[in-house]
């Protein structure tokens, strides 16, 4: 009988500890699987966030490229209009008094602008070139000098 109790006790002990160890092992594997799933979910969320940021950056870059092209096109058109105006300024109209006036006014306007700039440099309290007057003087000189450069090809 002692052998039977010993056999059954040993078998029950092994079975009980086997079940206990199996339960603890499954519990640990379940916790590891949950942790693995949590990490995967965090990585997926982070990957999604990166993709959204990349899409936003690409969209912003595309808009900036379009804006840069538009600005460059506007500048090129403005430069072309200025060049056309400068080229047409030198061509005679065929009416003698208008051609004579054009031949006189540009150099005279440049001369007055130069005199105003010199006077402003020597007597700034008496000759003040600010705001619209300063811009007109500088534009007149730019027009005259630009016309000269354009007509001489330099």
Write out the DSSP string of 43-87: HHHHHHHHHHHHHHHHHHHHHHHHHHHHHHHHHHHHHHHHHHHHH
Radius of gyration of the chain (CA): 45
Q: What is the pLDDT of residues 24-43, one digit of tens each?
A: 889 898 989 999 899 989 99
Q: Does this model's pTM top 0.85?
A: no
Q: Where are the domains of the chain?
A: 1-89, 93-154
Give percent above pLDDT 90 in the chain. 1
Q: List all residues 6 or more positions away from 67 whose beta carbon is below 8 Å from its beta carbon.
A: none
| C-alpha triplet 117, 118, 124: angle, nearest 5° | 80
Give the pLDDT band of residue 132 (cuts 50, 70, 90).
Answer: confident
Mean pLDDT of 131-138: 82
Which three-class secondary structure string do you get for 102-120? Answer: HHHHHHHHHHHHHHHHHHH
């Amino acid at each position: 009988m002692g052998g039977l109790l010993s056999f059954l006790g040993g078998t029950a002990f092994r079975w009980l500890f086997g079940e206990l160890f199996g339960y603890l092992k499954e519990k640990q594997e379940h916790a590891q699987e949950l942790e693995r799933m949590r990490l995967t979910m965090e990585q997926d969320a982070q990957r999604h966030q990166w993709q959204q940021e990349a899409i936003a950056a690409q969209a912003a870059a595309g808009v900036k490229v379009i804006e840069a092209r538009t600005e460059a096109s506007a500048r090129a058109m403005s430069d072309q209009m200025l060049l056309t105006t400068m080229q047409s300024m030198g061509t005679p109209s065929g009416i003698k008094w208008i051609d004579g006036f054009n031949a006189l006014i540009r150099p005279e306007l440049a001369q007055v602008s130069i005199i105003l700039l010199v006077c402003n440099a020597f007597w700034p309290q008496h000759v003040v070139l600010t705001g619209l007057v300063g811009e007109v003087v500088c534009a007149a000189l730019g027009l005259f000098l630009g016309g000269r450069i354009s007509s001489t090809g330099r």
